[in-house]
Structure 1
Amino acid sequence: MAGRRSGGRRATIHDVAAEAGISRGTVSRVLNNEPYVSDTARRAVQEAVAKVGYVRNAAARNLVTQRSRAIALIIHEPHSLVLEDSNIGNILIGTNSVLSGADHQLVTLMIDSQRDSDRVVEYLRGGFVDGAIILSARTGDPISAAIAEMDLPASMVGHPSDAPDIPFIGIDNRAAAEAIVRRLMATGRRRIGMLASGLDRDSGQDRLLGFTAALGDAYDPDLVVRHQFYSYAAGMEGMEELLARDPSIDGVFAASDAVAAGALDVLHRRGVVVPDDIGVIGFDDSSWALRCTPALSTVRQPAETLGGLAAQQVLDQLSGVDFERALILPTEIAWRESA
């Protein structure tokens, strides 16, 4: 087995030095990628490492450095939605790319219950990670409060109104929602409803505020159907409810693309023609948007960039360098056939 000597003993730096015929100090400098090592010595160490099957003992290194070189990505979503929401996947890809480039390991922690929340807080207190990125935090999130209390280097993607003083990165959900709803209104729609989701977090709250601001005096609270999650099921259930409340609606703003996809399926089954009878718009420009028929008009947000910059905020804190504690990234409207 790689990394083991005869009798099951793990290969050590002494074995590498003996095989390469050079000092342990030189081996250590090569393994730590330090300068002032000749190319000949570097090649000898690399060949010796391969031959004896040496694997660096991360636990021993961590005891010396007091660093795990691991960063947690904490996702506050039910397990089923983690697989459904491509935005989460893109944020994860952006996060991992930056951490990998800095030789840090991404550790994904999912919160689907109070039990999960309690366990994750204890895990963070145990020093298993050097920092954390918090995704989809709700109002009153105990994990964010615990991280602030620990003074653990962290970043939030999004920023609930009661969030502790933790650096964050996000988008202007309110302005983006208002802009696309006004675009929908400009097509002549007059009875516009909203399938609102995620109202226990800043993104959902701000998208509803943007919808309300865009409609102004035309806003009708009876045409807002609320659901806890940004999910396909929320779109199906919400669209049925919205049609029951007012069959004359001619426009729908769904709080996410997954919600919009569920709404579109209901409309198709009922024989409602989109966009002729009802214009539908979403939010995110995720993979849902292009899978929809017709293709979905939506707000494009840079999910992968959000994850990457959140990771960089944590790395900057660990390095002690100056960084921006609050970053708001631009969005754009992707206008397609659904509206």
Structure 2
Amino acid sequence: MADLPTLAEVAAAAGVSPATASRVLTGSVRVTTSTRRQVHDAMSRLGYVRRRAPRGSTARRTDQIVAAVVCEQTPRLFTEPYYARLLSAAEEVFAGHGVPLVVMTATPATAAIAAPPLVAGAVDGVLLIGARARHPLAVTLAASGIPVRSAGRPPDGVDLPYVDMDNRDGGRQAAEHLLLGNRRVIATIAGPPTLPAARDRLDGFRETLRDAGVTDMPVAYGDFTHASGAHAMQWLLQRAPRLDAVFAASDVMAAGAIQALRRAGRKVPDDVAVVGFDDAPIARHTSPTLTTVRQPVEEQAALAARMLLMALAEGEAPKGNPVLPTELIVREST
């Protein structure tokens, strides 16, 4: 087995001095952003992992720390119910094993800042949440050699162990429910197409409709916010004024769609049936209450956390990528 690259080799590959590379690892402010990026890129190429204190084989270390990295802008972390549910359940598992959990965000624009401390040994493991296609941090973590578990399937081409939901089957269940309700002019409000979960929900929904002979389905895209659901619904009403059903890829977007339908004078479910996805708390507080596809967020988080702890204890990536079932919950909106 080849020796792990040294800091000196990283510095040489980055074209900087070992002292400068060391300052990047310690987070010194005396290093320019471009130099940080050069060192960060060299670490990624070489698979550099900072050597921490030896991991004793006879006693479990008590100074482990894990980072949950949410691939979103910080405001979304505090407004999207999914993240609160997932992080709370994960933290409960880590706390039960005496491992503190720190939370940070990392967009593609901030990945160059977030990656160096993660891959240089500031944390022992990473719980990656919501990585989209071409997210540089996901690529870096996959090459870093540190234990990582992704909550949700990572983007195509990124080899990271994960725990996923059966989003495709959730889309199928939503489509079958609307078809059984004799809805025929059906539209959907999809999530961001670069997010694997959103793409799977759309694919499962669309394929089920096609199998039933419904081929002309208008699609609008939102970003899982209430406003994007309302705007998408307005656009769909212009595109397909006779629509009688809509599937939204999140409950928050579905709530926005219901509001837009009410403003347009359409009754739910008499004129338009609405199905959401998540079974978030908001699903029980919309008027009418929301039919939705339940995803076991807390179970996903707890399982991902336990598997990350296993990787920390055993020093190797967990085997297999569990996919948890989704379930249609019928309420008043259909």
Shorter-normalised TM-score: what interval?
0.7 to 0.9
2:215 corresponds to which residue?
219
2:171 corresponds to which residue?
177
CA offset at residue 161 of structure 1?
Answer: 4.5
Q: 1:152 aligns with which of 135, 146, 153?
A: 146
Q: 2:106 aligns with which of 104, 111, 119?
A: 111
**d(CA) in 2 for partners of 1:252, 1:237:** 13
CA offset at residue 321 of structure 1?
Answer: 7.5
More moved, 321-330 vs 211-220: 321-330
CA offset at residue 325 of structure 1?
Answer: 2.7
CA offset at residue 132 of structure 1?
Answer: 0.2
Tell me, yes or no, if the aligned pair for 1:191 and 1:249 is still in contact at 8 Å. Answer: yes
1:52 corresponds to which residue?
none
SS of 2:278's equivalent in the other structure is coil
Residue by residue over 1:256-313, the C-alpha shift from the partner in whole angstroms, topping out at 9 and shown as x without a partner, is 1011010011111222110000000000000121121111000111111111111111
1:165 corresponds to which residue?
159
AA of the residue aligned to 1:108: V
Q: TM-score, normalised by structure 1?
A: 0.77
CA offset at residue 65 of structure 1?
Answer: 5.2
**d(CA) in 2 for partners of 1:163, 1:258:** 30
1:1-339 pair list within 5 angstroms:
63=53, 68-112=63-107, 114=109, 116-216=110-210, 217-221=213-217, 223-227=218-222, 229-320=223-314, 323-339=318-334
2:11 corresponds to which residue?
none
**d(CA) in 2 for partners of 1:252, 1:136:** 24
Residue by residue over 1:166-225, the C-alpha shift from the partner in whole angstroms, topping out at 9 and shown as x without a partner, is 21001111111111211111111110000111211111111110111121131324x111
Residue by residue over 1:13-44, the C-alpha shift from the partner in whole angstroms, topping out at 9 and shown as x without a partner, is xxxxxxxxxxxxxxxxxxxxxxxxxxxxxxxx
Tell me, yes or no, if the aligned pair for 2:243 and 2:272 is still in contact at 8 Å. Answer: yes
CA offset at residue 83 of structure 1?
Answer: 2.1
Q: TM-score, normalised by structure 2?
A: 0.78
**d(CA) in 2 for partners of 1:292, 1:104:** 38
| Equivalent pairs, count | 275
**d(CA) in 2 for partners of 1:161, 1:113:** 13
Tell me, yes or no, if the aligned pair for 1:298 and 1:333 is still in contact at 8 Å. Answer: yes
Q: Percent identity?
A: 33
**d(CA) in 2 for partners of 1:268, 1:230:** 20
Q: What are the ranges of 5 or more consecutive residues in structure 1 without an aligned counterpart?
A: 1-61
More moved, 123-132 vs 161-170: 161-170
Tell me, yes or no, if the aligned pair for 1:79 and 1:112 is still in contact at 8 Å. Answer: no
Tell me, yes or no, if the aligned pair for 1:283 and 1:298 is still in contact at 8 Å. Answer: yes
SS of 2:184's equivalent in the other structure is coil
Alpha-carbon RMSD across the aligned residues, in angstroms, is 1.8
SS of 1:307's equivalent in the other structure is helix
Flag the structure with higher helix content: 1
CA offset at residue 239 of structure 1?
Answer: 0.4
AA of the residue aligned to 2:143: E
Shift of the 153–176 alpha-carbon distance from structure 1 to 2, 3 Å rule, reads same
AA of the residue aligned to 2:266: V
Report which of the two structures shows the higher radius of gyration computed on alpha carbons.
Answer: 1
**d(CA) in 2 for partners of 1:83, 1:300:** 21
**d(CA) in 2 for partners of 1:279, 1:331:** 20
CA offset at residue 165 of structure 1?
Answer: 2.3
Following TM superposition, the consecutive aligned residue runs of length 4 or more in structure 1 with deviations greater than 4 angstroms are: 62-68
Shift of the 163–74 alpha-carbon distance from structure 1 to 2, 3 Å rule, reads farther
**d(CA) in 1 for partners of 2:141, 2:114:** 11
CA offset at residue 150 of structure 1?
Answer: 1.2
More moved, 247-256 vs 137-146: 137-146
**d(CA) in 2 for partners of 1:302, 1:86:** 13
Tell me, yes or no, if the aligned pair for 2:154 and 2:160 is still in contact at 8 Å. Answer: no
Tell me, yes or no, if the aligned pair for 2:71 and 2:105 is still in contact at 8 Å. Answer: yes
**d(CA) in 2 for partners of 1:112, 1:233:** 21
**d(CA) in 1 for partners of 2:74, 2:312:** 30
**d(CA) in 1 for partners of 2:191, 2:325:** 22
Tell me, yes or no, if the aligned pair for 1:144 and 1:163 is still in contact at 8 Å. Answer: no
